[in-house]
Amino acid sequence: TASDSRTASSPQASIARLRAEIESHNFRYYVQDEPSVSDAEYDALMRELIALETAHPELVTAESPTQRVGAAPLAAFGSVTHAVPMLSLGNAFEAEDVLEFDKRVTDTLRSAGLLGPEDETDYFCELKLDGLAISLRYEKGLLVQAATRGDGQTGEDVTSNIRTIKSIPLKLKGAAPDVLEVRGEVLMFRADFDRLNQAQGERGEKIFVNPRNAAAGSLRQLDPRITAQRSLRFFAYSWGEVHGLPRTQHGEYEEPAPGTRQTSTLPRDTHGAMLAWLGDLGLPINVKHNRLVRGAAGLLGFYEEVGKLRASLPYDIDGVVYKVDALPAQKVLGFVARAPRFALAHKFPAEEATTELLDIEVQV
């Protein structure tokens, strides 16, 4: 097999080969919206590269796909520099990885004095929506720009396309800050995906591999009239730059509860409360499935629960995401090269992705 031949060659050669292979998959997935391998196959290559780089840290370079996010944006779109970089997420595939994550987080927070020696960490749990990440920039409450993640620093300007998505407010409700960057996922529901592929087939046009690629392909259109004909949805799950909060004397903006610790620039001190605030401004939040839990047992309970309802959701998810809820704790935990240390994506087994890809291969 490929990996047998890899183990036979030098670590340098194996690393170089894996990087080239992953880069080409990144290009097909992020730029062309047309992956040629399943996510499980891609994840396996990535894990093999991470294992080699962990064993040979001297071979890690800043250009390695393990250190970078996504792929460079396509020049056909205008480019947007993100005020706050858009990162990826660390991945876990096994319960063991989740226990390790919780232990690392909890130990750090206890030594920083943010948790008592017996206290457990509170986590905000979300579904890992399988779409594409988008940053929406609102100034004085008005949508002024929307960008893809791109390579995390620079994305593509897709403002005209984003404006065609009906659930994305062009104007925020109530008292909005001077600048608010909303981060979230654009996705296509399965029923809309089936309808789209059927129509594409009837017209003899491109059949999309899965809803994720259909969403990305529909949003990254140079002609927004095409995007307008596609049913795209949006859920907000985070934020980038936030500043110039509305004043309190008019009563539009509520102070944090007494005794809660407030970070200097944000109106709320937990991830969950920030999302509720975004919801109050009129942004779509996945309220139905977001949940606050305590400790590793809470995380694994959420994973199991979501695993059971996964098939009945109207959209694809490829896992769940755990985020340390307290924002001061997130700040202490900080970031590694391409992902925050305070969050983790716990992936579901990926049999489905492979089946979908095979089905399409049979059809065309």
The residues carrying an active-site annotation are: 128
- Choice from 124, 234, 237, 322 touching ligand NAD (CB under 6 A): 237
- Cβ nearer to ligand NAD, comparing 70 with 298: 70
Angle at 120 between CA 279 and CA 123, to 5 degrees: 25
Q: Residue 288 gets which letter from DSSP? A: T
Using the contact rule CB under 6 A, the part of the chain among 29-37, 103-111, 170-178, 221-229 near ligand NAD is: 29-37
- Cβ nearer to ligand NAD, comparing 110 with 341: 341
Sheet containing strand 91-92, edge to edge, reads 91-92, 343-347, 317-324, 122-129, 291-294
- Choice from 29, 239, 322, 342 touching ligand NAD (CB under 6 A): 29
Contact 317, 127 (CB under 8 A): yes
Cβ count near 41 (within 10 Å): 16
- Choice from 92, 114, 115, 129 touching ligand NAD (CB under 6 A): 129
How many chain residues touch ligand NAD (CB under 6 A)? 25
Give the three-state DSSP class for 222. Answer: coil
- Cβ nearer to ligand NAD, comparing 141 with 271: 271
- The Cα–Cα gap between 302 and 322 comes to 10
Q: Which residues of 306-341 are buried (b: 16+ CB within 10 A; e: fewer)?
A: beeebeeeebbbbbbbbbbbbbbbbebbeeeebbbb
Show the site string, 187-226: x = touches ligand NAD by CB under 6 A, - = not: ----------------------------------------
Handedness of CA 220, 225, 228, 230 (dihedral sign): negative
Asked if 66 interacts with ligand NAD (CB under 6 A), we say no
Q: Any bridge partners for residue 124, and if so which? A: 292, 323
- Choice from 33, 42, 68, 77 touching ligand NAD (CB under 6 A): 42
Contact 161, 221 (CB under 8 A): yes
- Cβ nearer to ligand NAD, comparing 141 with 343: 343
- Cβ nearer to ligand NAD, comparing 80 with 345: 345
Asked if 233 interacts with ligand NAD (CB under 6 A), we say no
Restricting to residues 301-330, which ones interact with ligand NAD according to CB under 6 A?
321
Question: Interface residues with ligand NAD (CB under 6 A)?
Answer: 25-26, 28-29, 35, 37-39, 42-43, 69-70, 88-89, 91, 126, 128-129, 133, 149, 185, 237-238, 321, 345
